[in-house]
């Protein structure tokens, strides 16, 4: 009976509400982009969109570690990736003006793709190395006035909830841009919408943990060391029940 209820709720209530909210917030975004800075446009459109979608799905977000943020500081943010709901949690509650590094296929998603482009998010073609490098070079000019850039360093969603090895791209960018690295852990989102299924499980709790920023990598040895350090930090709340103790 519970499964039937969740199925009916997902398709008769959640999906129509999410679609309507996406259309309305997308229209607000496109209307404001010519007149306001991207961070303010996101605050008035993308943040409410993310929080409303979480509300519709009955997800409560607990937050830890926001005291680690320094106002006005740009970061290279690295976060684990468990589910599509990571997008809602990060956009809704991270509290940082950031530009996402995302696969170029998402540019084709109706409403969301064009809004992400107008807000300055970064589309990467992973199959074309030169195009990917050019996209990252373009990203550098967007990181001003405290804006940050966000990577999922695993490269893709975890299919089993376990943290995968990191790729170097985010850490190399931190070295090139001379920016500190902000590790972020997401927990709980895997259970809300596991990869490979459209079966929503409402009523879960998600947790967003911001760890202490890591120093700017100065050389290749620093890149390798910080990649391992950030992997260990992000992994901790995934295996501990009390993230408060880790920040």
Which phi and psi angles does 21 have, rounded to 5°? -65, -40
Residue 12 DSSP class: I
pLDDT of residue 190: 85
pLDDT of residue 205: 87
Per DSSP, which regions of the chain are E strands?
60-64, 76-79, 98-103, 122-124, 148-151, 181-187, 205-210
Cβ atoms of residues 124 and 134 within 8 Å: no
Phi, psi of 150 (to 5 degrees): -115, 130
Identify the structural domains of the chain with CATH numbers, from first to last: 60-246 (3.40.1130.10)
Q: Which two tokens stand for residue 61?
A: 């977000």
Q: What is residue 209's predicted lDDT score, i.e. its pLDDT?
A: 96
User: Which residue from 218, 189, 194 is spatially nearest to 205, judged by alpha carbons?
Assistant: 189
DSSP 8-state assignment for residue 13 = I
- The whole-number pLDDT of residue 187 equals 93
Q: What is the pLDDT of residue 143?
A: 64
- Please give the pLDDT value at position 204: 76
Q: What does the pLDDT read at residue 246?
A: 47
- Residue 196: the pLDDT is 67
Backbone torsions φ then ψ of 103, nearest 5 degrees:
-65, 145
Is the CB of residue 147 less than 8 Å from the CB of residue 140?
Answer: no
Q: What share of the chain is helix, strand, coil (3-state, %, to 5)?
A: 50, 15, 35
Task: Kindly give the confidence (pLDDT) of every residue in the chain, 247 residues in length, as a single tens digit, with 9 standing for 90 and above.
Answer: 666 777 777 778 888 999 999 999 999 999 999 999 989 999 999 999 999 999 998 899 999 999 999 888 899 999 999 988 999 999 999 999 998 887 778 888 889 989 998 888 888 776 655 555 666 666 666 665 668 999 999 988 878 778 999 998 889 888 888 899 999 999 998 888 776 666 677 667 899 999 999 999 888 898 999 999 999 999 998 876 444 434 4
């Amino acid at each position: 009976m519970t499964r039937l209820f969740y199925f009916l709720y997902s398709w008769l209530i959640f999906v129509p509400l999410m679609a309507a909210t996406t259309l309305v917030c997308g229209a607000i975004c496109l209307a404001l982009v010519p007149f306001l800075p991207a961070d303010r446009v996101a605050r008035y459109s993308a943040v409410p969109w993310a929080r409303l979608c979480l509300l519709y799905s009955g997800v409560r977000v607990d937050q830890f570690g926001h005291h680690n943020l320094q106002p006005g500081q740009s970061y290279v943010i690295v976060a684990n990736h468990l589910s599509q709901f990571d997008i809602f949690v990060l956009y809704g509650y991270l509290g940082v003006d950031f530009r996402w590094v995302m696969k170029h296929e998402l540019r084709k998603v109706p409403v969301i793709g064009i809004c992400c482009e107008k807000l300055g998010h970064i589309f990467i073609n992973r199959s074309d190395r030169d195009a990917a490098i050019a996209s990252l070079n373009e990203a550098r000019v967007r990181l001003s006035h405290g804006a940050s850039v966000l990577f999922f360093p695993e490269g893709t969603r975890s299919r089993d909830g376990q943290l995968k090895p990191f790729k170097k791209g985010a850490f190399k960018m931190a070295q090139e841009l001379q920016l500190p690295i902000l590790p972020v852990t997401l927990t709980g989102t895997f259970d809300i919408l596991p990869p490979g299924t459209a079966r929503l499980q409402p009523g879960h709790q998600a947790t967003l943990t911001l760890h202490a920023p890591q120093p700017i990598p100065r050389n290749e040895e620093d890149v390798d060391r910080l990649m391992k350090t950030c992997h260990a930090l992000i992994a901790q709340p995934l295996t501990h029940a009390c993230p408060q103790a880790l920040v």
